[in-house]
Amino acid sequence: MKSSHTILGIAALSGAIFLNACDTKNEEEIIIEELIDDTYAVQTEKLLVNIDTLHTELEHPWGMTWLSENKLLITEREGDILIFENDSFTGQKIEGLPVVRSSGQGGMMDIQAHPAYAENGWIYISIAKDKEDDKSTTAILRFKLEGNQAVQLEELWEATPAWKGGNHYGSRIIFDKDNYMFFSSGDRFDTPENAQSITNAHGKIHRLHDDGTVPTDNPFVNEPNAVTSIWSFGSRNPQGLVYDSENNRVWESEHGPQGGDELNLIEKGKNYGWPVITYGINYDGSTITEITEKEGMEQPATYYVPSIATAGMTLVTSDRYPQWQGDILIGALAKMHINRVDMDGTQALSQEVMFQDLGRVRQVSQSPDGYLYAITEGTGLLVKLIPVK
């Protein structure tokens, strides 16, 4: 493993000192502002940005979460969780993790620290795990740390029934302001109709208490044979979730088939249509459905034809990027860029392709100190987006 701190294009930092004489005080006020050399910066529609490359040898990275302002964890699909401090890889990994099924699209997937991590120490992960008869499933677990050792490991949930094949596990994890946990599960690929039935866990957004118990106000708790963790249904393979704390909204991005990736506002009990309605077609070019709209099924805020392979995403709230505030940034795996969705409340106005060929962008996240980070497959990068003043 190798860490580096380079600005793509080798742009350097410099400092400037401004002196301001105070009329009312017999002293000078010194203001230090950090300036950034913009020689090799990337001009987007609204911001000039340097891409600071922090690490170059990630292997199939999937998720990231901060335990503090300076400590970052990154999952790798093969089963590792890497430890970064002060934007550098420490060379250490978390020990004592569960065995994962690291084949196909499965493995060690998302990771999320509890909102009250500083008080309770809980870290949540989603994994693909083996089941009997060569089947597998998505599971949600949590653990605490003693040093770098995972302890008090608990499995909170698993998708039922287990399924053969190695595709469409989902999955992302987020928490809302009341510490409810939302997470996604994929339709498992070969049976898209799974997404329309509330008697299985596949192709859904789920909601649980942080201890894994089912909230009594979930929409299907009183439905016969329903999976009671379901919050919404009709999703294909959702690999992006983000919580808008200011407006108490959950946003989701999901992979369409050939065309038809979607950005959705997720609401209680609603049906997002897959596979009854879609803007995509089968990979062989055949038709999935003749319709893109149907009464009782939600329309996406925006969609992508052709597909960009929407992965993890974040909502920009940081003052460091004032021109992007309120916008959603989505990682594009197939099209290898960061996609900015210009948002006006819940309305998607336009899309911008940014940082083309950065790599297969698996996740974009905002750190506690307000910087944006991204992790990529193929190029194996951890990068930090630094706005140029």
Rounded CA gap, 347 and 213, in Å?
A: 33
Rounded CA gap, 96 and 85, in Å?
A: 20
Type of residue at 382: L
Rounded CA gap, 68 and 54, in Å?
A: 18
Reduced DSSP (H G I as helix, E B as strand, rest coil) percent helix, strand, coil of the chain, to 5: 5, 50, 50
Rounded CA gap, 239 and 233, in Å?
A: 14
Task: Compute the CA torsion angle 379, 85, 102, 243 (nearest 10 deg).
Answer: -90
CB 50 within 8 A of CB 7: yes
Type of residue at 122: W
Q: Which residues of 257-282 are buried (b: 16+ CB within 10 A; e: fewer)?
A: beebbbbbbbeeebbbbbbbbbbbbe
Give yes or no: 209 in active site. no
CB 228 within 8 A of CB 299: no
DSSP bridge partners of 265: 251
Nearest CA-CA partner of 184 in 176, 193, 174: 174
Q: Where are the alpha helices (DSSP H) in 141-181?
A: none
Q: Which of 168, 206, 255, 337 is catalytic?
A: 168
Q: State the SS3 of 192-246.
A: HHHHHCCCCCCCEEEEECCCCCCCCCCCCCCCCCCCCCEEEECCCEEEEEEEECC
The phi and psi torsions of 200 (rounded to 5 degrees) equal: -130, 165
Show which residues are catalytic.
Answer: 168
